[in-house]
Amino acid sequence: MTRLSLNFDTAFTQAKEEVDRVLLAAPLLIRRYTSYLTQTHGKFVRARAVLACAMDEEGCIGEDAIIFAAAIEVLHLATLVHDDIMDDAALRRGQETLQKKFGKRTAVICGDYLLSAAIQELRKVQDTDKYKQLNIPNYVEQICMGELRQNMNNRNYGLSMYRYLSIINGKTAALFEASYFAGAVVHEKDEARLRLYRQLGRYTGVIFQLTDDCIDYENDEQTALKSVQSDFEQGVVTLPVIHTFSQKPELKSKAETGTLSKEELLAAVKNCGGVAFTHQTAKRYYAKARRALDALHLSGQKADILKELLDKSYYGLKK
């Protein structure tokens, strides 16, 4: 079989088209509920990471990278569907969530279908050794364990920063690492360089989640295009709150007795610098990510795209 080598823009277009094909190829019963997702795609951050990392010295991308990019985006959609159920979220990317639109039971089944569709997509990879080296099931396990740990710590207002970072390393950063690794493994053979790609992906994912945590306290729904100021109401403890409770233990006690209002918490997060502390933590991870990126000694469009992805993860809606 002839293997294609494409430039980034062409490969990115094909990856988006492949995601749409996967969604629209679902059985009619499933498609009734999932077809609207083709209109609510995000910015394909993870697909962009896969394809950028897959670029060789001439800036060309092999077709296996397109399959990896599409599969990881579909897997990401599955995690979002399940996240929205867990969080009882009403909005995602400015649209009603699947669970809000069709109910939690339907959303669970659709999320499971998307997970299976992502796995089926990966079977198209021509170089099976690369698929085995990527080991997507391991990353799926990390994501699931991160989500489980978050659920187990729901309303745990004594959650430590260390344990919280462990949670987001699974629920968010693992898929970012998988994205960077999936692209790099297409053409890289050096283990040290592959490790740097994995580090870059992992750190970028942590930064992305920490920045996202701040959105709950910095933006309204029109700006964020999703439900905001809802984490605390759903019992999800994030770093701005962890820092605030460390500064004001009396508020932690009120939260544990259910007497802390959302308005009081929002004011306390602002007064205690919870958001600033979280951004400062993200900044430390940004420095680690830059060191990994610099150590790869990349240039041209590949370096530009990976730097852009890192910057957007850090600056979020502020840039």
- What are 233-278's pLDDT values in tens digits? 889 999 999 999 999 999 999 999 999 998 999 999 999 999 999 9
pLDDT at position 95: 80
pLDDT at position 33: 86
State the pTM of this model: 0.92
pLDDT at position 223: 52
Position 317 pLDDT exceeds 50: no
Mean pLDDT for 153-158 is: 96
Task: Quickly list DSSP for the chain.
Answer: -PPPEE-HHHHHHHHHHHHHHHHHTS-HHHHHHHGGGGGS----HHHHHHHHHH--TTS-EEHHHHHHHHHHHHHHHHHHHHHHHHHT--EETTEE-HHHHH-HHHHHHHHHHHHHHHHHHHTT-S-HHHHHHH-HHHHHHHHHHHHHHHHHTTT-TT--HHHHHHHHIIIIIHHHHHHHHHHHHHH---HHHHHHHHHHHHHHHHHHHHHHHHHHHH--HHHHSB--S-TTTTT---HHHHHHHHH-HHHHHHHHTT---HHHHHHHHHHTTHHHHHHHHHHHHHHHHHHHHHHHT--HHHHHHHHHHHHHHHHGGG-
Mean pLDDT for 5-16 is: 94
Q: How many CB atoms lie within 10 A of CB 85?
A: 20
Q: What percent of the chain has pLDDT over 70?
A: 93
pLDDT band at 181 (very low <50, low <70, confident <90, very high): very high
Position 219 pLDDT exceeds 90: no
